[in-house]
């Protein structure tokens, strides 16, 4: 029996003119409502059939949709569900909504179908989030990660750790329940400790890997920095394939951070252009330079753009922002001979260098290939599933925190250790939803769109 009383409906497709519009209906009255709408009964489960559909008190049908009947629990939500594949367009979908309302269904809230699937045990919370991620995916990398998550890889990993925590706790409780022989208790507790240490290492390794999954989902950040007039904005426009940033021969053109989203090597990249960094007294430009530095510090990869024709003077403020593995791009190659030496920049770190012309495009393909290779190395497939949201990361951190506390209490106060283990299990359970509160669930599903 579903936890929800009402039967809800929503368009699963975008509203507006289209070939088809799919209306989804779920809830305990779905069968009765389908009968009211079509005047028919006996739809075969999971078989498509054409049926005329009527508005209340009308004898002429307003459309003849394809009807799909999914009796619960073998449905997406676990409840009785039907879908109407209507003709797309406002008049038809409006008529269908009115007929559904008249028959007693109510409009679904954001993510309500997936929420019902979660409440009815069809999906865990991590899988529900994966449904949202699949719909939002713009790149192959995002899609593959969301599909792995929907398959249950991440949920299985967390479920396994939760079981381990439960077993350790049971063992501690068993020791506490038979405390007659002190030596036996001490030995038994000693034997439990390595299991806890092993679990802490697994959680730590998962935390270390946390950026990967989140970068795949939210985008890897690449920031262009450099002196004024070096051609940063020209390069951003070339990489983006659009005139996103203003280009001019006046130094100090860019002030705000200009961000564009790109697909590089199948992964989502957020590329940012920033203000040229130079000694300046103008307040607005100063603020721009501050923002440039902040963006550079937060980025996953920095590309320093330098004008190949200019002497490499006063670049320390910029080179100080670079990290090992970043890029230095000598731009305006079209203005010099191929064999001309590049300006000698003092760097104490390992960077990759490229010679390009952002205006002619020379050398840009090689730069793109190098970046794509690097991104695939950073985000490409690994065996273990990665966490994909800050919410997961915080819960794993809380789990580790409680588990470490449990280890500290194990010898002296095993009953307290048991309590910390319970907290650790609860923190882990929040991720998959076993220990989810209404507040957490409400927050997650409110970000879904209607019809999901």
Q: Does 219 bind ligand GTP (CB under 6 A)?
A: no
Q: Does 253 bind Mg ion (CB under 5 A)?
A: yes
Choose, by CB under 5 A, the member of 233, 331, 388, 432 that binds Mg ion: 233
The nearest distance, CB 304 to ligand GTP, in angstroms, is 11
The nearest distance, CB 325 to ligand GTP, in angstroms, is 22
Residues 29 and 79: their CA atoms lie apart, in Å, by 10
The nearest distance, CB 78 to ligand GTP, in angstroms, is 55
Which residues touch 84 (CB under 8 Å, ≥6 apart)?
A: 22, 23, 25, 37, 53, 65, 66, 67, 96
Q: Which of 75, 148, 82 is nearest to 116 (CA)?
A: 75
The nearest distance, CB 273 to ligand GTP, in angstroms, is 6
Q: Does 331 bind Mg ion (CB under 5 A)?
A: no
Interface with ligand GTP by CB under 6 A: which range of 55-63, 136-144, 246-254, 416-424?
Answer: 246-254
Q: Which of 308, 253, 299 is nearest to 280 (CA)?
A: 253
Q: Which does 28 bind (CB under 5 to 8 A by kind): ligand GTP, Mg ion, none?
A: none
The nearest distance, CB 247 to Mg ion, in angstroms, is 7
Using CB under 5 A as the binding criterion, the count of chain residues that bind Mg ion stands at 4
The nearest distance, CB 275 to ligand GTP, in angstroms, is 6
Which residues touch 1 (CB under 8 Å, ≥6 apart)?
A: 28
Q: Residue 252 in contact with residue 282, Cβ under 8 Å?
A: yes
Choose, by CB under 6 A, the member of 149, 221, 357, 432 that binds ligand GTP: 357
Choose, by CB under 6 A, the member of 228, 271, 321, 403 that binds ligand GTP: 228
Q: Does 230 bind ligand GTP (CB under 6 A)?
A: yes
Provide the 3-class DSSP secondary structure of residue 14.
coil
Between strands 106-107 and 8-11, the pairing is: parallel
Joined together, the tokens standing for residue 270 give 């957020």
Task: Work out the burial of residue 423: count CB atoms within 10 Å of its CB; fewer than 13 is exposed, 13-18 middle, 19 or more buried.
Answer: middle
| Mask for 279-318, x = binds ligand GTP (CB under 6 A) | ----------------------------------------
Q: Residue 115 in contact with residue 127, Cβ under 8 Å?
A: no
Q: Which does 169 bind (CB under 5 to 8 A by kind): ligand GTP, Mg ion, none?
A: none
Q: Which is nearer to ligand GTP, 35 or 278 (CB)?
A: 278
Choose, by CB under 6 A, the member of 213, 231, 363, 385 that binds ligand GTP: 231
Q: Does 419 bind ligand GTP (CB under 6 A)?
A: no
Joined together, the tokens standing for residue 108 give 């679904």
Give me the sheet containing 8-11, strands edge to edge: 48-50, 66-70, 81-87, 20-26, 8-11, 106-107
Q: Which does 121 bind (CB under 5 to 8 A by kind): Mg ion, ligand GTP, none?
A: none
Joined together, the tokens standing for residue 257 give 């951070």
Q: Does 233 bind ligand GTP (CB under 6 A)?
A: yes
Q: Which of 163, 162, 155 is nearest to 123 (CA)?
A: 155
The nearest distance, CB 261 to ligand GTP, in angstroms, is 19
Choose, by CB under 6 A, the member of 17, 261, 290, 335 that binds ligand GTP: 335
The nearest distance, CB 239 to ligand GTP, in angstroms, is 12
Query: Which residue's CB atom is positioned nearest to ligand GTP?
Result: 276
CA distances to 74, 241, 273, 328 from 302, in Å: 50, 20, 11, 8
Choose, by CB under 6 A, the member of 249, 316, 324, 338 that binds ligand GTP: 249
Q: Does 276 bind ligand GTP (CB under 6 A)?
A: yes
Kindly report whether the peptide bond that precedes residue 73 is cis, defined as omega within 30 degrees of 0. Answer: yes
Q: Which is nearer to Mg ion, 51 or 230 (CB)?
A: 230
CA distances to 57, 160, 406, 422 from 164, in Å: 60, 6, 14, 12
Provide the 3-class DSSP secondary structure of residue 104.
coil
Choose, by CB under 5 A, the member of 7, 149, 237, 254 that binds Mg ion: 254
Binding site for ligand GTP (CB under 6 A): 226, 228-234, 247-249, 251-254, 275-276, 331-332, 334-335, 357-359
Binding site for Mg ion (CB under 5 A): 232-233, 253-254
């Amino acid at each position: 029996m579903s936890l929800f009383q009402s039967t809800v409906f929503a368009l699963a497709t975008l509203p507006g003119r289209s070939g088809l519009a799919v209306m989804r209906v779920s809830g305990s009255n779905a069968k009765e409502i389908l009968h009211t709408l079509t005047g028919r009964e006996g739809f075969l489960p999971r078989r498509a059939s054409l049926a005329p559909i009527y508005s209340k008190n009308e004898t002429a049908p307003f459309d003849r949709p394809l009807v799909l009947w999914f009796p619960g629990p073998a449905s997406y939500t676990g409840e009785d569900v039907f879908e109407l594949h209507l003709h797309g367009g406002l008049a038809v979908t409006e008529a269908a909504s009115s007929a559904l309302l008249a028959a007693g269904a109510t409009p679904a809230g954001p993510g309500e179908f997936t929420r019902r699937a979660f409440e009815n045990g069809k999906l865990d919370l991590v899988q529900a989030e994966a449904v949202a991620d699949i719909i939002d995916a713009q790149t192959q990398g995002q899609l593959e990660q969301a599909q792995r998550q929907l398959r249950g890889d991440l949920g299985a990993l967390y479920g396994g750790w939760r079981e381990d925590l439960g077993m350790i706790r049971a063992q501690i409780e068993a020791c506490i329940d038979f405390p007659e022989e002190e030596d036996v208790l001490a030995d038994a507790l000693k034997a439990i400790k390595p299991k806890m240490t092993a679990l802490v290492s697994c959680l730590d390794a998962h935390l270390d890997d946390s950026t990967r999954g989140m970068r795949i989902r939210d985008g890897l950040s690449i920031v262009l920095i450099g002196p004024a007039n070096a051609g940063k904005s020209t390069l951003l426009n070339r990489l983006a394939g659009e005139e996103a940033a203003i280009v001019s021969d006046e130094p100090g053109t860019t002030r705000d951070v200009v961000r564009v989203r790109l697909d590089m090597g199948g992964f989502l990249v957020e590329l940012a252009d920033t203000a040229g960094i130079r000694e300046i007294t103008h307040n607005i430009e100063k603020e721009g330079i501050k923002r440039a530095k902040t963006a550079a510090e937060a980025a996953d990869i920095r590309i320093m753009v330098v004008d190949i024709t200019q002497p490499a003077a006063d670049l320390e403020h910029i080179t100080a922002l670079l990290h090992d593995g970043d890029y230095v791009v000598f731009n305006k190659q079209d203005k010099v001979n191929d064999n001309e030496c590049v300006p000698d920049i003092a760097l104490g770190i390992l960077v990759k260098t490229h010679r390009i012309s952002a205006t002619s495009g020379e050398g840009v393909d090689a730069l793109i290939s190098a970046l794509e290779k690097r991104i695939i190395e950073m985000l490409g497939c690994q065996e273990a599933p990665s966490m994909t949201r800050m919410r997961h990361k915080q819960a794993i951190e809380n789990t580790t925190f409680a588990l470490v506390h449990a280890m500290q209490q194990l010898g002296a106060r095993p009953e307290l250790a048991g309590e910390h283990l319970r907290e650790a299990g609860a923190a882990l359970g929040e991720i998959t939803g076993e220990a989810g509160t209404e507040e957490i669930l409400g927050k997650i599903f409110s970000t879904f769109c209607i019809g999901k």
